Amino acid sequence: MTIRHFRLDTDLTPAEQAAVLDTADRLKAARRTSAHPRPLAGRSVALIFEKPSARTRVSFEVGVTELGGHPIVLDANTIGLGKRESIEDIAQVLSRYVDAIVIRTFGQDRVDRLAAAGTVPVVNALSDFTHPCQALADLQTVRDHLGTTRGVTLTYVGDGNNVAHSLLYAGAMAGAHVRICAPKGYEPDAGVVTRSARLAAGTGGSVEMLHDPAAAADGADVLYTDVWASMGQEADAANRVDVFRPYQLNEALIAAAKPTVKVMHCLPAHRGDEITDGAMDGPASVVFDQAENRLHAQKALLAFLFAELEAPQ
Ligand code: CP
Ligand code: NVA
C-alpha cells in the first residue's frame, strides 16, 4: 500500500499533476450523470478546519459525497489539535477511523506532522505557507479558458503569500511563465522561488519576480490577485493598505495586459481593496469558474490518492 499525501504542490510530479487535471475535466463533464464514478464508496474523510472557509469546506464536503464517500467536518474547537491532544495522537486516532484527512491550518509543519504520524493520505486545504488545492483548480481554470497552461504568462499581483507560493510551484510544474509582482518586503519565500525556477527549467516554464505592476501585466494572459492580509494577519491589515494600493487589480491593469487576459482571484475578495468591482464582474473575470473548479480538482485529487493506495507496489 502506497500512502501518498498532498501536503504541498510538489507532492505530485508534473505528469501526475496533468493526469489529475485531466481527471478533473472528466469528473466535471460527468457530474450528475450515471457515468460519474464513486471511488470513495464505503470510505470516510475527515475535514479539519482551524481557520474559516466557504469554498474549501463546501467543495470538499460535496466532493467526497459525490465520490460516494462520507465527509466528517471537524472544527478547531472540536478536536483541539495540539491543545486537547497532540497532533501525532490525533493523526493515529483518526487513521483508525477514516481513510483520508484534509486539513486547513496555520503552520505548514502541522500538515507535515499529521502526515508523518498518521497512516492515511493527508491533504493540505491551506496552510500559512501553501494552498495547493487552490492551485490545482486555478490550473484547471486556465486550461478551460486558454486551452493550456504551457507557455501561458500567469501574473500574480499582491502579497507573496500561500496562494502565491502554490501558484509558483504548480504553475512552474505546468509549464507556465509565472510572474509574481509584490511590494518590497512582501515577496514570496526565496526557497520557493528557487525551487520553482528549478521546476520550470524542466517544463519549459519560467518564474520572474517583479515590483512594477504595469511591467508585470505587460503581455500577461492571466492577472491574479489575493487578499492583502491573509487569515491570521488581521492585526496587520490596516498597515498594509497604503503599501498594497498600487498593486490593485483594476481596469487600468487589465488594459496593460493582453486583450484576451483572464482575471483570477482565489476568493474571498475584498472588493475595492485588492480588486475592483469592474475587474471582478467584468468580461475578463473567470473568478466564479475558478471557485467551481475547486470541486472538480479536489475530487480528482482524492480519486488519485485513493487509487494510489490500491496501486501494486
Ligand atoms: N479560496 C478559498 O480557499 O476559499 P475559502 O477560504 O472560502 O475556503
Ligand atoms: N491568502 C489567503 C487565501 C484565502 C483562501 C489566506 O490565507 O487567508
ipTM (interface predicted TM): 0.99
Tell me the whole-structure pTM to 2 decimals: 0.98
**What is the distance in A from the centroid of ligand 2 to the CA of 227?**
7
Instruction: Give the per-residue pLDDT at 53.
Output: 98
45 and 56 in a single domain? The answer is yes
144 and 285 in a single domain? The answer is yes
Residue 1 pLDDT exceeds 80? no
14 and 55 in a single domain? The answer is yes
216 in ligand 1 pocket by Cβ < 6 Å?
no
CA 151/CA 141 separation, integer angstroms: 15
**Of all helices (H) and strands (E), which one includes residue 243?**
helix 237-244
Domain contains 3? no
Q: Which three cell numbers stand for residue 281?
A: 464582474
Domain contains 45? yes
Q: Is 101 left (phi over 0), alpha (psi -120 to 50) or beta?
A: beta
**Sequence-separated (6 or more) residues with CB below 8 Å from residue 238:** none
Across the chain, mean pLDDT equals 97
103 and 143 in a single domain? The answer is no
Q: Which domain holds residue 285?
A: 134-290
Can you give the CATH number for the domain in which 283 is found?
3.40.50.1370
Instruction: Give the per-residue pLDDT at 202.
Output: 98
299 and 240 in a single domain? The answer is no
Domain contains 125? yes
For residues 282 and 251, is the Cβ–Cβ distance under 8 A? Answer: yes
Task: Give the residue from 11, 33, 36, 10 showing the smallest Cα distance to 23.
Answer: 36
Domain contains 67? yes
Provide the pLDDT confidence category of residue 2 given band limits of 50, 70 and 90. confident
Q: In what order do the strands lie in the sheet with 222-225?
A: 206-210, 177-181, 153-157, 222-225, 262-265
58 in ligand 1 pocket by Cβ < 6 Å?
no
165 and 240 in a single domain? The answer is yes
Domain contains 190? yes
DSSP letter at 119 equals S
- Tell me how many degrees the CA angle 233-239-242 measures, rounded to the nearest 5: 125
Domain contains 233? yes
* Total tally of structural domains belonging to the chain: 2
Average of per-residue pLDDT across 90-115? 98
- Kindly report the protein residue whose alpha carbon is nearest to atom 1 of ligand 2: 230
102 and 208 in a single domain? The answer is no
Q: At what angle do helices 132-146 and 162-173 cross, to 10 degrees?
A: 50
Q: What amino acid occupies position 58?
A: V
242 and 299 in a single domain? The answer is no
Q: In what order do the strands lie in the sheet with 70-75?
A: 70-75, 44-49, 100-104, 122-124
287 in ligand 1 pocket by Cβ < 6 Å?
no
Domain contains 121? yes
